[in-house]
Homo-oligomer: A and B are copies of this chain.
């Protein structure tokens, strides 16, 4: 699966430009909006057992809400990416490399500790 990022970015840009909303989208404000959308995802799961959260795909009403929140998160993440000029694919690959060093397999295997707690 590839995602046609050019198409998605085009749709996102069009939505924003049609409403003249770029004036509100400072990177600072976008970081706030992004965290608000994440919390709307958290809200879905705040009283839910972990096991039930893993079966969310089989609950049509809830998975619909999850889809909407995931989409909103992606929307604002793409806005941050565009406003800062970050190369997303490169940034992700480089961060995974960094994390491989911070979390060596032999120290972190099966352990959920933070790297500074080893």
Binding site for B on A (CB under 8 A): 1-6, 8-9, 11-12, 15, 18-21, 23-24, 26-29, 31-36, 38-51, 53-54, 56-57, 63, 66-68, 70-75, 77, 80-81, 83-86, 88-89, 91-96, 98-100, 103, 105, 108-110, 112
Q: Say how far A9's CB is from chain B's closest CB, in angstroms.
A: 8
A39–B32 alpha-carbon span in the complex (Å):
8
List 30 interface pairs A-B (beta carbons < 8 Å), by A numbering: A1-B9, A2-B4, A2-B5, A3-B3, A8-B89, A8-B93, A11-B93, A15-B99, A19-B103, A19-B105, A19-B110, A21-B112, A24-B112, A26-B54, A27-B45, A27-B50, A27-B53, A27-B56, A28-B48, A31-B41, A33-B46, A34-B38, A35-B38, A47-B112, A54-B83, A57-B85, A66-B80, A73-B77, A74-B88, A77-B77
Contacts of A95 in B (CB 8 A): 67-68, 71-72, 75
Excluding A4-B89, A8-B89, A70-B77, 12 further A-B contacts by CB distance (< 8 Å) are A1-B5, A2-B5, A19-B109, A19-B110, A21-B110, A26-B54, A29-B47, A36-B40, A36-B46, A49-B50, A68-B91, A68-B95
